[in-house]
Copies of this chain bind each other. A is one copy, B any other.
Amino acid sequence: MIVTVSRRAHFNAAHRLYRKDWSDEQNLEVFGKCSNPNYHGHNYELVVSVTGRIDKETGYVIDLRILKNIIREEVEEPFDHKNLNLEVEQFKDLNPTAENIVVVIYNKLKARLDSRLDLEVTLYETQRNFVTYSGQ
């Protein structure tokens, strides 16, 4: 029996939608107020969903304490209370749109999970805007 197990997490961060190779004017034209050079920020909410077979022995697909630790090490510790553009390696040359952030998070978590498990990540930038990536 194949079940999806989901865990919610969160981090607070500053960011700016911005391409280094564009002028501030070009960035403003395309990204609007999200391109404010002084940054703005969000309470990012995360749903990490892992799909796999139920282990007959334990009744678990994955021990949530293990998943919680992986999320803390790969997402919460490096991203929480940080400026994504300036302080998170992966966004030094990548525009931190919600789409790009969710792909970065997916790749970091996927590398830590057993290859038999499928992964989907949903990232809420606000309660009204959110993105989902499952590795396709």
Contact = CB atoms under 8 A, between A and B. Distances in A.
Contacts of A39: 14, 39, 41, 83
Interface in A70-119: 80-83, 86-87, 94-100, 102-103
A15 B30 CA distance: 24
A111 to B, nearest CB: 16
Q: Chain A interface residue count: which class?
A: 35 or more
Q: Chain A at the B interface: mostly helix, strand, loop or mixed?
A: mixed
B126 A43 contact: yes
A40 B41 contact: yes
Given A17-B59, A103-B3, A41 B38 contact: no
A82 B42 contact: no
